[in-house]
Structure 1
């Protein structure tokens, strides 16, 4: 009986030891210096309370690089060069319904956003490829639409690359700001003929 007890005890100890993970420690990544963020239109869509019928029309997932004392447009981000519209992975926009940008109708779905900054105007690009890192593999053949928008000056530098929406008649303006630069992209989604 004593031998059986020893065998059972040994099996329990061995079984418990076999279930323990290897001695390698799990290493989690450090916080990214360009944190990911999300902006919705309407802005309160993700915070809707019970009974609130607010539904999102647009959702943008992007990373927010910082100025860190640097000159941004024309220096860090060269004029005339395709830019990833943030940091890290390509910025992605999800349209929950059909929209129109620059007169081009775009189906509901997920797309990437890129920009070509210049001193007086930016070209904003909606591209069909998603899940890419930066603009390194940007493929202009996958562009859905390109729209030129004027550059405005911010009165004081904005530390983080920032996106928000402002409602307009028939849609919303995507407002883009960083350093001393501000641009707006009109997005229409309310068709008065429907």
Structure 2
């Protein structure tokens, strides 16, 4: 009987030692300083309750860089240069049905959003190229539409790049703000 206990004990020790030597500690990436976020129109789409019918029309996935005391537009994000409209990967916008932007009809699908900031106006761009890091490989030949929109100066700075929607009679307005700058893009549907 004593031999059985010794054998079982030896097997348990060997098994534990084998597991210890084969398992390696996984290193996970640190949290990103520009957190990813998702925005829907209608805003409450992901919070729909059982029995309610509320289907999304637009979904945006973007990263939210922070001001961190820096001067943003004209310095960090230079005027006249294509910007990824956020941080990290280029911002993606998904239309669940046909929409109209700047008088151009765009079919349902997933696209990227870019911007060319300037002091008094921005050019907002819907582009077919997706799954890219930043604007480093931006290809203007894949633009679906470019729309110039005026800049609105804010009295108080916005720390994180922020997006939201407001409903309008013909669809929704995408509002983007960061630092002391705000722009608006009407989207019809």
The equivalent residue for 2:174 is 174
Unpaired segments ≥5 residues, structure 1 = 190-194
Supply the distance in 2 between the matched residues of 1:103 and 1:30 (Cα, whole angstroms): 43
Q: Deviations over 1:51-77 (max 9, x none)?
A: 111111000000000001111101110
1:22 deviates by 2.8
Counterparts of 1:134-153 in structure 2, within 5 Å, are 134-153=134-153
Relative to structure 1, the CA distance from residue 149 to residue 20 in structure 2 (aligned partners, 3 Å threshold; closer, same or farther) is same
The equivalent residue for 2:105 is 105
Relative to structure 1, the CA distance from residue 110 to residue 21 in structure 2 (aligned partners, 3 Å threshold; closer, same or farther) is farther
TM-score (norm 2): 0.92
Q: CA RMSD in A?
A: 1.8
Supply the distance in 2 between the matched residues of 1:5 and 1:71 (Cα, whole angstroms): 72
TM-score (norm 1): 0.89
Supply the distance in 2 between the matched residues of 1:3 and 1:25 (Cα, whole angstroms): 36
Unpaired segments ≥5 residues, structure 2 = none
Supply the distance in 2 between the matched residues of 1:72 and 1:21 (Cα, whole angstroms): 50
Question: Are 1:117 and 2:117 counterparts?
Answer: yes
1:13 deviates by 5.7
Supply the distance in 1 between the matched residues of 2:16 and 2:159 (Cα, whole angstroms): 52
The equivalent residue for 1:68 is 68
Give the number of equivalent residue pairs. Answer: 189
1:5 deviates by 8.5
The equivalent residue for 1:26 is 26
Supply the distance in 2 between the matched residues of 1:21 and 1:97 (Cα, whole angstroms): 54
Supply the distance in 2 between the matched residues of 1:86 and 1:11 (Cα, whole angstroms): 56
Supply the distance in 2 between the matched residues of 1:129 and 1:50 (Cα, whole angstroms): 36
Supply the distance in 1 between the matched residues of 2:139 and 2:21 (Cα, whole angstroms): 44
The equivalent residue for 2:130 is 130
SS of the residue aligned with 1:46?
helix
SS of the residue aligned with 1:89?
coil
